[in-house]
Amino acid sequence: MLGLKKINQLAFLLVFVLLFSGCNLKDIGGKLKELDNKIGQGLERLPDKQAEEVIDFFQEKKSPPAAKDLTKEQKEKIDNWLEKNNLNRYGDPAETMYAGGTPLFNEATGESVDRYDYILKNHPNLLDELN
């Protein structure tokens, strides 16, 4: 999904262009629908990989940093944030119960995940919030 800031900027730009292009308010809705159709048709003509890249660009997909890249200070900030927000050590509500006792181990696949990777996956903007 587009970030709220980008959506607001795009909406403002579209309204500004349409208002000053000589369109009256009745025409604006039609023009926006027409523009949406053209964008959709343009994406349909792109090869799948390129269409995904365009969509990813506007969705601002960014993967959270890996636990191995966190400093000791960042880990301490995360732990303090968990405590302050009454979350358990995994970033979930304090009363959360897990099959197997932990969300870090998938019994079906045998895979385990670092605690901080789990937290950052579920709270992708946490480091931005803490800085």
Given a contact cutoff of 8 angstroms between Cβ atoms, the answer to whether 116 and 75 are in contact is yes
Residue 113: per-residue pLDDT: 93
Q: Is the pLDDT of residue 51 over 70?
A: no
Domain residue ranges in the chain: 4-59, 67-130
- Residue 118: pLDDT band (50, 70, 90) is very high
Q: Kindly state the DSSP code that residue 19 receives in the 8-state scheme.
A: H
User: Which range (25-34, 51-60, 100-109) has the least confidence?
Assistant: 51-60
Strand ranges inside 32-119, DSSP E: none
Average pLDDT, rounded, for the chain: 79
What is the C-alpha separation between 42 and 51, in angstroms, rounded?
9
Q: Is the pLDDT of residue 79 over 70?
A: yes
pTM higher than 0.75 for the full model? Answer: no
User: Rounded to 5 degrees, what angle do the CA atoms 24, 28, 21 make?
Assistant: 60
Residue 72: per-residue pLDDT: 94
- Phi and psi at 119, nearest 5°, equal -60, -50
Residue 94: per-residue pLDDT: 93
Q: Give how far the C-alpha of residue 75 lies from the chain's centroid of Cα atoms, to the nearest Å.
A: 21
Residue 30: per-residue pLDDT: 72
What is the C-alpha separation between 3 and 66, in angstroms, rounded?
22
Bigger pLDDT: 62 or 8?
8
